[in-house]
Amino acid sequence: MTANANLFVALRAAFPADLTATAVEVADGPHAGAHYSWADLDRGTAMLANLLQSLGLPAGSRVAVQTEKSVEALMLYLAVLRAGHVFLPLNTAYQAAEIGYFIGNAEPAVVVCSPKNFAWVSRIAFSAGTGHVFTLGEARDGTLLERAAAQPDQHTPAVRTADDLAAILYTSGTTGRSKGAMLSHGNLAENALTLKAYWDWQPGDVLIHALPIFHVHGLFVASHGALLNGSKMVWFGKFDPKATIARMAGATVMMGVPTLYVRMLAEPTLTREAVQTMRLFISGSAPLLVETFDSWTERTGHVLLERYGMSETVMLTSNPCRAADGPRRRGTVGPALPGVQLRVIDDAGTPCPTGTIGHIQVQGPNVFAGYWRMPEKTAEEFTVDEQGQKWFKTGDVGKVEADRYVTIVGRSKDLIISGGYNIYPAEIEGFLNDMPGVAESAVIGVPHPDFGEGVVAVVVAHPGATLDPAAMIGQLKASIANFKVPKHLFVVADLPRNAMGKVQKNLLREQHRALFG
């Protein structure tokens, strides 16, 4: 009989023998100080999985979730896997237009939202044909837990193959139309096992979890790492630099985006004494400035481990954890992980010489199968070499040195990464261009000391029209997630163009490069 490849089965098998031990300690919020045992995780996920099962959903149904971070929200993710369905995490900042698109595209059988958003989310969901809408709040409130409380606390995990879909993560495209990256149980399990070994997870490790759980970094990389190692998590619903530093005593591992490290460096309590039990600090989801890398080493004595991944692939490369595997080199994202093949090619599709910049392509067991209901886009994003090997085009530009260390030098699709979040200019430009009086717009990212990149919009008005930048930004805030809203909006007479009429965003970026100092 073939073994059950359900990711939940692998995670559950890694629970420690003593199920009464603490799995998660809540560090903040309405239930600060609460402890969840491994038995609590097992029983809680069983009850939620039984609730989903009681709804009579077909195997592989989508469950869309937009809730604030909580241990119960993590249990819901695990329960969806356990029940054999597909988890669809949605950023808590998304507004009605965005949620409407995701629900319409994914056609989830179940939607779970915050109690405060039930009125508008349920209206969108029911209009799109969703059969069930539940609520889940930070204070352990909402209809989801009320309904699950009546369910048995034992559940046999659904049988899944490695190729069965486990999650869909929406990532914006340059056209402004979001794409749902389909990740299988095998994709996620392979990557988690690789990282467990490569990052040298140790018995007794304690993870500080201060990331959101609606994207790869917090939901998969951090949570899977701790669960697969049977490690306790110190759970922050919201990142607070001073509080996070205070909880490092007794902890050993932390993962964060560069913004988190910048903010902790601003705290005088960040000292070598404060981090003396810590073993590993990992940074990702956005480029790490050399200044941040050096300042962290100087203040703490720890060398940040920078790595590189995508929604479509989870982790691809990483600086070494063990000294025996090599140094952690600033400005690089390390070598490709074991099992991952990475190549750099030129515009003609020819492999680039060592140290030469080109387009990064990858393959491996962690690479997704394609985009949800977008066969043409999927075909466009993969290429096949002369040996018949299939490669995913990352859209990133970089180089590989002789020692296999990878350096990312840019992004070929004008992607902006601000505070660890991916932002595609075309989506914001679409909203701007629809505003009265706007002839055209260009959205760019420029260096920002805190967020890595700050979003800036440059807008041209129709002849005779008068535009109010503050009012336009206010209108955007009501339409899209706040992290996408430009920090500055400039009204200009025209946009720079090349001979083919294409807007030269590189000139705009250079013009506004010093905007944030």
Question: Residue 173: its pLDDT value, please?
Answer: 45
Model pLDDT for residues 187-203, shown as the tens digit of each residue: 999 999 999 999 999 99
Do 392 and 501 reside in the same domain of the chain?
no
Which pLDDT score, from 0 to 100, does residue 397 have? 84
Same structural domain for residues 86 and 220? yes
Given a cut of 70, whether residue 413 has pLDDT beyond it is no
Specify if 132 maps to a domain: yes
**Whether residue 175 sits in one domain with residue 114:** yes
Q: DSSP labels for 346-377?
A: -TTSPBPPTT--EEEEEESTTS--EETT-HHH
> What does pLDDT average to over the chain?
94
Q: Is there a domain that residue 294 lies in? A: no
Rounded to an integer, the average pLDDT of 14-35 is 97
Q: Which of 45-59, 193-207, 362-376, 490-504 has the lowest mean pLDDT?
A: 490-504
Q: pLDDT > 70: what percent of the chain?
A: 97
pLDDT digits (tens, 9 = 90+) for 215-265: 899 999 999 999 999 999 999 999 999 999 999 999 999 999 988 998 999
Distance CA 22, CA 349 (A): 51
- Predicted local confidence at residue 130, as pLDDT: 98
What is the pLDDT at residue 175? Answer: 43
Q: Is the pLDDT of residue 415 over 80?
A: no
Domain boundary pick from 411, 436, 465: 411
Cα(359)–Cα(408) distance, integer angstroms: 10
At 174, the pLDDT band (50, 70, 90 cuts) reads very low
Which residue stretches of 359-511 are H helix? Answer: 375-381, 425-433, 469-477, 505-511
Residue 439 is predicted with a pLDDT of 87
CA atoms of 420 and 295, how far apart (whole Å): 19
* Inside any domain, residue 314: no
Whether the per-residue pLDDT at 417 is higher than 80: the answer is yes
Residues comprising the chain, all counted: 517
Q: Based on the domain organization, do 347 and 448 belong to the same domain?
A: no
Q: What is the pLDDT of residue 500?
A: 43
Angle, helices 290-300/258-265, rounded to nearest 10 degrees: 50
Structural domain containing residue 80: 7-238
* Amino acid 498: pLDDT: 66
- The reply to whether 446 and 345 lie within a common domain is no
CATH of the domain at 435: 3.30.300.30
Are residues 84 and 205 both part of a single domain?
yes
pLDDT band at 517 (very low <50, low <70, confident <90, very high): confident
Three-class DSSP category at 138 = coil
Condensed to tens digits (0 to 9), the pLDDT of residues 91-114 reads 998 999 999 999 999 999 999 999
287: Cα separation from own chain's centroid: 14
Q: Are residues 192 and 338 in the same domain?
A: no
Structurally, how many domains does the chain consist of?
3
Residue 31 included in any domain: yes
Which band of pLDDT confidence, cut at 50, 70 and 90, is reported for residue 506?
confident
Whether 463 and 428 map to the same domain: the answer is yes
Q: What is the pLDDT of residue 64?
A: 98
Q: Can you tell me the distance from the alpha carbon of 422 to that of 417, in angstroms, rounded to the nearest whole number? A: 5
Are both 456 and 368 inside the same structural domain?
no
- Structure confidence at residue 411 (pLDDT): 67
* Average of per-residue pLDDT across 485-491: 97
- The CATH number covering residue 196 comes to 3.40.50.12780
Which pLDDT score, from 0 to 100, does residue 502 have?
Answer: 64
Final residue of a structural domain among 378, 394, 411: 411
Among 5-14, 155-164, 494-503, the least confident range: 494-503
For residue 389, give the CATH number of its domain.
2.30.38.10
pLDDT band at 59 (very low <50, low <70, confident <90, very high): very high
Does residue 1 belong to any structural domain of this protein? no
Structure confidence at residue 172 as a pLDDT band (50, 70, 90): low
Considering 174, 204, 238, which residue would you say is the last residue of a domain?
A: 238
Report the pLDDT averaged over residues 268-295.
93
